[in-house]
Each structure stands twice: as C-alpha cells, then as structure tokens.
Structure 1
Amino acid sequence: MEHLNLIVTVLGGLILLLGLVSKRLEAGPIPPSVLALALGVLIGPQGIGLIDLAAIGQPERILEGAARLTLGIGLVGVALRVPRGFPRRHWGEMTVLILLAMALMWAVSTALVYLILGLPFWVAALIGAIVTATDPIAATPIASGQLAEANVPERIRNAVSFESGANDGLSYLFVFLPFLLLTRPQHEALSHWVTHTLLWEVGAATVFGLLLGYVAGKALQLAERHGTIEQKWRLAYTVALALFAVGAGRLIKTDELLIVFAAGAAFVQVVSGEDRANEEQGQEALNRFFSIPFFALFGMVIPWGEWAKLGWSGVLLAVAILLLRRPLPMLLLKPVLPSIRSRADALFTGWFGPIAVAAVYYATLMDHKLGDPLVWPVVSLVVFASALAHGISASPLTRLYGRHARGKTAESEDSAS
C-alpha cells in the first residue's frame, strides 16, 4: 500500500506541474508525453529506483490495464471530436483509409520486422499488426488544440481523428490472425478467425457499440427534455459511457476498443454539436489526465536489457517503421483520398501516425497470451522511438505544414486574380 501511495503521489504531482505550464508546453518543442516518459525512466528501477511496479504486481499486466483504461477514455474523446455527419459524408474515403491503408501498413511493418530481425514470418506478422494502428491519443497534438486548429485544415484533422479511433479497434483483426496461426493448426485458426474473431469479437462488437451509443444519446435527450439530469452530470455521463463500454466489451469477450469508439461515434450522431461542446473539452482534459500517467508508467517498465540484445537491428527497425510504415501507404493511396489533396498532405498525415497506447495494449495482451520473449521488447522499442520522434516533431512540423498550406492558398488566390 505504501508503494501504491508513492506512485499516486508522484503521478498526481506530475500532472499538477505539467498543468501549470501546459500552454507553454503545447507551443514548445517537448510535449508533456515525452516529459512524462523521461520522468518514468528517471524514477523507475533502471533510474534512481524510487518506484518499481514489480512491488505491486506484474509490470506488463499493470501497464496493460492502464493502457486499456486510457484508450477507453480517449476513444470517446476522439469520437466527440468528429463532427456530426462526418462518417456518413465520407464513408467511402474512411473505408479506404481504415481498411486498405491498415492492410498496407501491416504488410510494410511485417516485411520490415521479418527482413531486419529475421524472425519467423507469423511472429513478424504479429508484431507488424501490433504497430499498425494509428494511436488516437498520441495524435491529439495534430488533431485538436489551438496549434492544430491554426495550422491543420479541418478535413485533415477530422480524417486523422476518425481513422485513428476506428483502426485501434480494427487492429484486433490483424493482431489475432497471426496469434491464432501461431497457437493453433492452420485450418482451425482460420476457421476461428472468421467465425469468432471477425463475426463475433469484431462484428458483434461494432453492432453492440453503435446500439449502446445510440441508446445512450437518446436516453440523455429524453432526460434533458424531462429535466431529470443536471448540466454538471453531462461530462460524467460520457465518461461513464466509456467505462461501461470497456467493461461490457471484456465481459462478453469482444473487442472492447471497437465497442468504445462505435459507441462514441453513434452518441455523436444523436447529440448535437452545441450540446456536446463542453463534453468535448472535458474529454480532452481527461485524455491528458490519463495519458500523462500512462507514459510515466511506460517509462518505468522499459526493458532496457532486452533492447540491448536487439542491438543495432532494433534501432534500424524502429527508424524504418517510422519512415515507411505509414508514409508509403499514404503516398500510394493519395489519388483515392479526397481529403489528401497534395503531396504535403500525404507526407504530413503519413508521418504523424504515432505508435503508442494501442500498441502497448496489444503488445502486453499478446505477451501474456503468447509468451514470446521478443514481442514486448520489439514493440516497446518502436513505441519509445515513436513517442520521441512524433512528440518532438509535432509542434515544428505542424507550424511548417501550416505555413506551406497558407503559402499555397495565397499562390492560388494570386493566380485566380
């Protein structure tokens, strides 16, 4: 209990300190997530040893629970960010962006793991699937906030938000296919993947999430019409929706991440933009409240020894995945994505495909389900590299992209006149 109190004290103090300078951090070169990660490394067992999660349980399982809760809260916040009617108006583009782009990212990541580390193909495919998802929480700096709104077009911000939310849940399909093929005979694995993973764990999860969000939205409207709910309960209502979806998803053994995002997306279609303005701001605050401790916890459990065993091959893999996994598919798919109107759009959205909380969740889940000694070290190294590269580059590249976009707009107006 004393160790737990120490963890709560340190994490609470971290949020207090970062909150006091949050405005400067948003405009500065080092984001709060990187500072939290650095603090976690410093106070963890490989640093000064102030906190060791092993004293209260298995570190990877603790991190899995933290990632699950952080994603549950964050995915509802992402859904609230997407304008009402956006999925309906852009369903074709979002289908391409989510399914085809994900398949290409999986193929690229799998090939890189297989070629650089020389792992068995299906182990490489499993790791490639885990790092495929675009993390919605780590993508927040380019999708919301003053800096993003001033420099990134709304069409890009909405596309990134919806895609990152949806593909976290759909990564379940890509992750469990190689997992099943590694643990069962091929015919049995494929049959289970189609009948159970695809139809129940993903298909039923989507339907359940949509119904849950729709019913929750209608119930809220009904309560407001009859004056039975106080305004101060609105934020608590959306948070409770996230927690209910996460818990229910695990109880019925489906993809809880997909349930959460589907519920949030359906809730948005029912509740008007004016009604959910305060909830969106509140959810963004909660995202930060949960994501900062998560990155600190991640810093505490980094497997430095296993990274050292990977050697320069691990470093090469992390760099190659960041440079190729998403930028290449975005450039290839640019002609069929209306929101991506230029090479600059494709490069910007291609680079900012951070690998963070969702990858940690799937990696820790597979770590205890499969027990392969390389899954967690490889994925955690890529997550660490992504946190540094995408975190530090977010502000300067967003400003650069904004200047480029404004320059192109000015050139077009001069040409028209």
Structure 2
Amino acid sequence: MLLLVVVMPLAAFAAGAAALLLGLPLALAALVGACLCPTDPVLAASVVTGEPAERDLPGRLRALLTGESGANDGLALPLVGIAVVVVLPATHLGDAFGKVAWEVAGGVVIGLLAGLAAGWALRAATRQRDLEEGPKLVFTLLLAVSVLGIARLAGTGGVLVVFVAGLAYNRMVAESDRGPQDAVDEAVNRYAVLPLFLVFGAVLPWRDWVDLGPAAVLFVLAILLMRRVPFVLVLARPLCLARRDALFAGWFGPIGVSALFYLAHSIHEGVDDPRLFAAGTLAVAANTVVFGLTATPGRTLYAKSRAADPPRSSR
C-alpha cells in the first residue's frame, strides 16, 4: 500500500522535476511526471515471473512488485487527469474536474459491478457445469475486453476499470480457477508486448529528441536514478524490506506500456505540445533498454548476495 499511496505520487513529482531539466513549463513537466509514474506490469512481470525468478527471488518481493505494478497503472489516472486540466488553460475548470471525477469514480463503480457480475457468473456456471475448460481459461481476457468497451462508451478510465474489475473478480472466484487463468493472461501479455514495442519503435520521434538538446541526457539519468529508487530505500523499514530488497524493488520498477497509454490519453485530451511525447517516449525507450540489460544481471547479483548471507542460528 505504501508503494501506491506514497511512492507513486513521489515518483510523479520526481519525474516532473526531472522534466524541468528540459526547459518545459511547470504544468507540462507535471504532466510528464504523472504519465511516467506508474510501474509497468508487463515489463515488471518479465523479471518476477518464470523459473529463474522463482529460484532467485523471494516470494514476498515478487508479490510486492507484481501487486504494485498491477495496481498503479490504473491508479495513476487521477494524477494524469488533474495534470491535463492544468496544462489546458482554456478548459473550464469546473467541467474539467467534473470529467476527471467521473473518469475515476465512474471507472471504479463500473469495474466493481462488472467484476462482481463476472465472478458470480463464473461461479454459477462452474457449479452447474455449464462452462467448458477452454472458455474458462480465457474468461478473464473476455472480461478485460468487455469492460474496456464499456469504459469507452461511458467515458471513464479504461485502465482503472480493468484494474477494479480484476480485483472484484478475484474476490469472487476460487484460487483453483484463477491459477490457470493467470497463466493464460501472462502468456497473452508476453506475446502482445512484442508487436506493441515494434509499433513504438516505428513512431519514435528522433528529431524531437534531438531538439531536446544535451539536457535530454540529464533527464534520462534523473528518471533512472531519482524517480523511484530513493523513495523505496527511505521506506524500506515501513515496508519491512531489507536494504537489498528495497534496492531491487526500487530499481526494477520499469516505465513501459502504461506510460505510453497515458501519453496517448493526454494527447487525445488535447495536449498537443510535441515536447510531451518527445520527453515521455525518450524516458520509456531509455528505461526499457536499461531495464532489459540489467534484469538478468540484477537478479543474479541479488541471488549471490542472498547466498552470501551468514546462516541464521537455529536457536
């Protein structure tokens, strides 16, 4: 909970402060920070799932990163929505904040009702033996697509709706049903992320990156080193994390698909300053490359550090 309530807003603040290095206006820098604050669940899963991760990383650390990354991509919506309102000065503040409130509150209500209804339907169908095993495995994928469509029609936050629907659904169904569904979801995520990043690579704004100037290097370094790591280290004791665990959790909080979604959402809402997309995509690209290069060595170093710990006394 601390990672969501404390670290995510602080990460938005730190990323926004880093964006000021690019000479961006304060409001636009705040929007960049809000877009870059969520931890990406797809990229995070690559370091905390699979046989090597289960062998080298403790279950609590893996669960912490998985739970946080799955939650904060939806919970970043209020930060992004408020920042968009501030960036667009011609917007009527009352109407704009009302829209943000509906996106958040409406998304929570729709997601809650949809998740509970889907969970109840699955339990009833399982009890009556009306559902084959194949459709049951892809049930959560169908739920996600359905609630995204409903959110689109209702004008609420799609990512937030899916997150809340997933929480409500998980409360309703048995663990024996969730396990196989989670495996299918994870496989789909891994296959879907490849074409997404191919498209991302095709639209990279190289010229706009050059226009950011030498400060872009400082911006990237600040994002990598200051967006998350210091705050997780400071909160290590309240989180009951060893320093090694806090350092690992702080470093491996990648920026990815969630940030791209919020960048696109901001542009769709009317923020047309090209520096938003340039700064955001530069941070995503740099973070993805650095994360990919350090994921395996970082996990290996963590495992060696654990192995070097003195054995605990049996008394």
When normalised by structure 2's length, the TM-score is: 0.95
Match of 2:132 among 230, 237, 246: 230
2:38 matches 1:137: no
Matches within 5 A, 1:327-366: 327-338=229-240, 341-366=241-266
2:21 matches 1:120: no
C-alpha spacing 1:121/1:402, structure 2 compared with 1 (3 Å): same
What does residue 35 of structure 1 align with?
A: none
Per-residue displacement from partner, 1:35-57 (whole Å, max 9, x unpaired)? xxxxxxxxxxxxxxxxxxxxxxx
2:225 matches 1:323: yes
Match of 2:73 among 141, 160, 168: 168
2:113 matches 1:211: yes
What does residue 48 of structure 1 align with?
A: none
What does residue 88 of structure 2 align with?
A: 183
Q: Is the 8 A contact 1:147 1:395 kept in 2?
A: no
Per-residue displacement from partner, 1:217-258 (whole Å, max 9, x unpaired)? 111110111111111111221111010111111111111101
Q: Is the 8 A contact 1:132 1:171 kept in 2?
A: yes
2:5 matches 1:99: yes
Q: Secondary structure at the match of 2:220?
A: helix
Q: Is the 8 A contact 2:255 2:287 kept in 1?
A: yes
Per-residue displacement from partner, 1:7-54 (whole Å, max 9, x unpaired)? xxxxxxxxxxxxxxxxxxxxxxxxxxxxxxxxxxxxxxxxxxxxxxxx
Per-residue displacement from partner, 1:145-175 (whole Å, max 9, x unpaired)? 1121111211111111121121111111111
**Structure 1 runs of 4+ off > 6 angstroms?**
none
Q: Secondary structure at the match of 1:219?
A: helix
- CA apart distance, 1:326: 0.5
2:58 matches 1:158: no
Which amino acid is 2:171 matched to?
A: Q
Per-residue displacement from partner, 1:88-133 (whole Å, max 9, x unpaired)? xxxxxx1x2112111111111111111x112110011011111111
- Within 2, Cα distance between the matches of 1:179 and 1:329? 25
Match of 1:313 among 200, 215, 219: 215
When normalised by structure 1's length, the TM-score is: 0.72
Tell me whether 276-285 or 380-389 shows the greater mean CA deviation.
276-285
Q: Is the 8 A contact 2:39 2:254 kept in 1?
A: yes
- Within 2, Cα distance between the matches of 1:117 and 1:130? 16
Q: Is the 8 A contact 1:352 1:390 kept in 2?
A: yes
Matches within 5 A, 1:290-305: 290-305=192-207
2:184 matches 1:282: yes
What does residue 305 of structure 2 align with?
A: 404
Tell me whether 253-262 or 263-272 shows the greater mean CA deviation.
263-272
Q: Is the 8 A contact 2:36 2:259 kept in 1?
A: yes
Q: Secondary structure at the match of 1:276?
A: helix
Q: Is the 8 A contact 1:142 1:152 kept in 2?
A: no
Q: Is the 8 A contact 1:176 1:197 kept in 2?
A: yes
Q: Is the 8 A contact 2:115 2:168 kept in 1?
A: yes
Which amino acid is 2:12 matched to?
A: W
Gaps of 5+ in 1: 1-93
C-alpha spacing 1:118/1:195, structure 2 compared with 1 (3 Å): same
- Within 2, Cα distance between the matches of 1:104 and 1:237? 36
Which amino acid is 2:272 matched to?
A: G
What does residue 37 of structure 1 align with?
A: none
Q: Is the 8 A contact 2:84 2:271 kept in 1?
A: yes
Gaps of 5+ in 2: none
Tell me whether 378-387 or 140-149 shows the greater mean CA deviation.
140-149
- Root-mean-square deviation (CA), in Å? 1.7
Which amino acid is 1:107 matched to?
A: F
- CA apart distance, 1:135: 0.5
Q: Is the 8 A contact 1:126 1:175 kept in 2?
A: yes
Q: Secondary structure at the match of 2:40?
A: coil
